[in-house]
Amino acid sequence: MSSKGFSVMEERSVDNVDVLAESDYTEEQYRRILRKIDRYLLPLMWVAHGVQQADKVSISTQAVFGLREDTGLVGQQFPWLSTIFYLSYMTFELPSSYMMQRVSVGKTLAVLMFLWGIIVFCIGFARNFTHLMVLRFLQGAFECTISPSFLLIVATWYKTQEHTLRSMIWGTANSGMIIITNLCTYAIGDHAEKHGGLAAWKGISFFLGSLTIVLSIFSWFLLGTPREVSWISPEERRMVQARIVNNRTGTDAHRRREWKKDQIIEAFTDPSTWFLFVSMVLTAIPNGGVGTFGNLVYKSFGFTSLETVIYNIPRDGTTVIWFLFVGWACSRYPNVRFYLILFAIIPAFIGMLAMALLPDELSYRWIKFGMYLMTMTVNVNGLMLWLFVPSNVAGRTKKSIVSSILFVAYCTGNAAGPQFFRAKDAPRYIPAMIACTICFALNFVIVLSWRIYLVYLNRTRDAAAAAQGLTPEQVEELGAMNAEKDMTDRQNPHFRYTY
């Protein structure tokens, strides 16, 4: 036996029982456990993610139903309700990531979900700007855990090639669940217009807050990592670990509560971290602005308050189809993620620029409607960027730090976005629209450069492995074993990046 072969077998026997366990199960057993995982996790994650999105952007809909008038908002006070949410989101994300290292991911998420449900419910009682600012600050503090916890759950249950499709499925809830909540919102608004009584924006808060509270109870019992949940047996838990060991990003088989200083330093010095950061900021600025002012811009085309709700449904429905297509394409074809991100930017750029330049005439409202529909393609990019964390970042501490850095980028962009929409530019907000198109153009350049960098890293590592005489199978096995030692993607020479 060659020295290389002996080295591999020695490491397996000492350090990596899980790699040996991978061959202990049949493909049928793996398919069966995957179906069970999907059955328990995907429906709840879909609803939870969708409700969180509906809670977060509900003020955009509430604004067209009298929120600003009833609470006396003037000038830039309305965009500050989004900005303070994301500043709070950013402030509390790092402590929440640390907390998830120390306690149960699923239980922590369920408790915080219950708390933000109460906050959303209480928004219906707000009487002025101060009340709304305090409540939105608290809402951001409690909601900040959902995306990092979902990414951790995906990374500990699914293979790398399964990440995108599964994440896209629950990612469709951003639009899919909002279709459902918009229909309920339409009913609330229609009742308020016809019969009076409770203001529509208050009814929206009471409905969404109650829904979130109920959902938190289900999350307490069902969500978590393989080590935390009770709906799989010990043998199934071992099977789950065996399935994902070749991700080469580590599994959930061992409690790794310590924070490693070298991984913290690496997270901040890795160029990919900053490609990810800048791309997310440029993605989040339009997202934050349009997420807050989208319904008001829609109304400026010449639609009524109720029409803005109902005419959003085609855009949301198209977004769901686009998300599913992207998820299917990523699982069907290797290394197409960056191409899809780049493609998604192009129609969004065209649509946003056209909305800014078309005349302010009622006869153009359906053309503007079509241009607004085109911007939906870019909605997938935020989630696609998040998916690079479980797929392209190894090392538990590094993964947590990069997730936190990415969250800072996400919150910075979303906090800044609404501030581009100045009250003096209402109702068309042309300068803000142009700012969004500039963000799209810059992001195209950043994403293209990042892909070139990752391709270079993979080719360099492939050449080094070939020079050592390692076969692709040995590279994969050594990469998996190094990941189980909690090595990072840069420390592990056998790690390969997805792009």
Q: What pLDDT score was predicted for residue 4?
A: 38
- Specify if 7 maps to a domain: no
CB 289 within 8 A of CB 432: yes
- Specify if 56 maps to a domain: yes
CATH classification of the domain holding 36: 1.20.1250.20
Residue with tokens 């607004």: 372
Is the pLDDT score of 225 beyond 50? yes
* Domains: count for the chain: 1
- Specify if 230 maps to a domain: yes
Cis peptide upstream of residue 427 (ω within 30 degrees of 0): yes
Task: Output the DSSP codes for 233-279.
Answer: -HHHHHHHHHHHGGGSS--SSS---PPPHHHHHHHHH-HHHHHHHHH
- Specify if 349 maps to a domain: yes
- Specify if 454 maps to a domain: yes
Instruction: Quote the CA–CA distance of 13 and 117 in Å, as a whole number.
Output: 49
Q: Which residue from 493, 369, 411, 403 is spatially nearest to 154, judged by alpha carbons?
A: 403
CB 393 within 8 A of CB 271: no
Residue with tokens 């198209």: 318
Domain that holds residue 433: 28-247+259-484
- Specify if 346 maps to a domain: yes
Q: What pLDDT score was predicted for residue 397?
A: 85
- Specify if 254 maps to a domain: no
Could you give the count of Cα atoms lying within 13 Å of 205 in the half-sphere of its Cβ? 25
Residue with tokens 């479980």: 390
pLDDT band of 413, cuts 50, 70, 90: very high
The values of phi and psi at residue 387, to 5°, are: -70, -15
Residues in the chain: 499
CB 433 within 8 A of CB 294: no
- Percent of the chain exceeding pLDDT 70 equals 92
Query: What one-letter code names the amino acid at 135?
Result: L
Residues 6 or more apart whose CB falls under 8 angstroms from that of 16 comprise 245, 480, 481, 484
Instruction: Quote the CA–CA distance of 363 and 299 in Å, as a whole number.
Output: 14
Structure tokens given for 162 = 């399964």
Instruction: Quote the CA–CA distance of 490 and 437 in Å, as a whole number.
Output: 35
What does the CA dihedral 286, 287, 291, 297 come to, rounded to 10 degrees? 30
User: What's the CA angle centered on 488, arms 483 and 492, to 5 degrees?
Assistant: 70
Distances (CA, A) of 192 to 57, 138, 306: 21, 28, 11
pLDDT band of 430, cuts 50, 70, 90: very high
Q: What pLDDT score was predicted for residue 375?
A: 93
Instruction: Quote the CA–CA distance of 405 and 399 in Å, as a whole number.
Output: 10
Residues 6 or more apart whose CB falls under 8 angstroms from that of 280 comprise 382, 385, 406, 409, 410, 413
Three-class SS state of 303: coil
Instruction: Quote the CA–CA distance of 351 and 497 in Å, as a whole number.
Output: 32
- Span 283-333, pLDDT tens digits: 999 999 998 888 888 888 888 888 888 888 888 899 889 988 988 898 888
**Full-model pTM:** 0.80
Is the pLDDT score of 16 beyond 70? no
User: Residue 103 has what DSSP assignment?
Assistant: S
Q: What pLDDT score was predicted for residue 304?
A: 87
Instruction: Quote the CA–CA distance of 284 and 436 in Å, as a whole number.
Output: 10
The values of phi and psi at residue 16, to 5°, are: -140, 70
- Specify if 287 maps to a domain: yes
Residues 6 or more apart whose CB falls under 8 angstroms from that of 205 comprise 58, 62, 120, 121, 122, 123, 124
Is the pLDDT score of 249 beyond 60? no
pLDDT band of 6, cuts 50, 70, 90: very low
Query: What one-letter code names the amino acid at 155?
Result: A
pLDDT band of 12, cuts 50, 70, 90: very low
Q: What pLDDT score was predicted for residue 10?
A: 34
Is the pLDDT score of 363 beyond 80? yes
